[in-house]
């Protein structure tokens, strides 16, 4: 515990390199014991990398693979382990691996009747708004609100959050007033676990999409899209609920 507290102190004091080394050492020790703490330590080590302006994928992928290993060994907690793996894969942009892990987690999760959450669509194209609303209604969503610019989106979503609601946001990257990455940054600063699905004609690998994904958006849909692609993105957004 002393090493963990020291590593946290290093991280708090912006001594990210020293914190990274300690968290990595702690992770290696806990991995030998098949302890879930190892994954946490690797995630914290990845945060140290991020604060240094370095790529944090290696630590997150190592954590994801470790959680997959635990899921196969620890059947009673397999759902949790697969969900943790999915979250790590999601943060590195490995969407197929994330969805595979998430689907495996569902096999260990009792079937329950799910209450559909509210949806906020942010897009200035009437055609896209109509298409999204139609698809969402087919998927069983009834509480759907739409806005056509970034400022209105921030105002509406902030009000929903203040009223204890937890909407899923479908966010276009090209809005008439603010860019999608600016809107996402503002929303995630107030609620880091908000589920934001990017809706854009851009490729997933373009700089601004990668930047917005790095901020914490939970899924990506490229225009033009099908109802199945939207459903997959909504499923992925549920990963944001994993602690």
| SS (HEC) of the chain | CHHHHHHHHHHHCCCHHHHHHHHHHHHHHHHHCCCCHHHHHHHHHHHHHHHCCCCCHHHHHHHHHHHHHHHHHCHHHHHHHHHHHHHHHHHCCCHHHHHHHHHHHHHCCCCCCCCCCCEEEECCCHHHHHHHHHHHHHCCCCCEEEECCHHHHHHHHHHHHHCCCCCEEEEECECCCCEHHHHHHHHHHHCCCCEEEEEECCCCCCHHHHHHHHHCCCEEEECCCCHHHHHHHHHHHHHHHCC
Question: Considering the domain 2-107 in this protein, what is its CATH number?
Answer: 1.25.40
In the chain, CATH 3.40.50.2300 covers: 119-231
Structure tokens that stand for 237 in this block: 């957004």
Band (pLDDT 50/70/90 cuts) for residue 112 is: very low
119-231 topology per CATH: Rossmann fold (3.40.50)
What is the structure's pLDDT at 79? 87
Band (pLDDT 50/70/90 cuts) for residue 213 is: low
In the chain, CATH 1.25.40 covers: 2-107
- For 14-37, the pLDDT digits (tens) are 899 999 999 999 999 999 988 888
- What number is the average pLDDT over the span 124-151? 90
What is the structure's pLDDT at 152? 94
Band (pLDDT 50/70/90 cuts) for residue 88 is: very high
Give the mean pLDDT of the chain.
85
pTM of the model: 0.53
What is the structure's pLDDT at 116? 63
d(CA 22, CA 47): 13
d(CA 20, CA 25): 9
- For 119-131, the pLDDT digits (tens) are 999 999 898 999 9
What is the structure's pLDDT at 216? 61
What is the structure's pLDDT at 157? 93
């Amino acid at each position: 515990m002393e090493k963990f507290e020291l590593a946290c102190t290093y991280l708090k004091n912006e001594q990210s390199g020293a914190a990274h080394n300690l968290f990595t050492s702690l992770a290696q020790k806990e991995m030998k014991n098949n302890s879930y703490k190892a994954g946490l330590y690797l995630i914290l080590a990845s945060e140290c990398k991020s604060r240094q302006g370095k790529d944090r994928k290696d630590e997150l992928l190592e954590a994801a693979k470790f959680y997959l290993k635990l899921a196969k060994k620890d059947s009673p907690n397999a759902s949790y382990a697969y969900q943790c793996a999915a979250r790590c894969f999601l943060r590195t942009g490995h969407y197929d691996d994330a969805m595979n892990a998430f689907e495996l987690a569902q096999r260990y999760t009792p079937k329950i009747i799910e209450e559909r959450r509210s949806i906020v669509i942010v897009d200035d194209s009437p055609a896209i708004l109509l298409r999204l609303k139609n698809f969402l209604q087919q998927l069983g969503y009834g509480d759907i609100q739409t806005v056509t610019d970034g400022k209105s989106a921030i105002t509406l979503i902030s009000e929903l959050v203040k009223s204890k609601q937890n909407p899923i946001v479908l966010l276009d990257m090209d809005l008439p007033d603010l860019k999608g990455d600016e809107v996402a940054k503002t929303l995630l600063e107030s609620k880091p676990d908000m589920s934001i699905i990017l809706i854009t004609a851009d490729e997933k690998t373009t700089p601004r999409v990668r930047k917005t994904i790095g901020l914490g958006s939970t899924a990506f849909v490229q225009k033009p899209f099908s109802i199945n692609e939207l459903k997959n993105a909504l499923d992925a957004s549920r990963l944001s609920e994993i602690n």
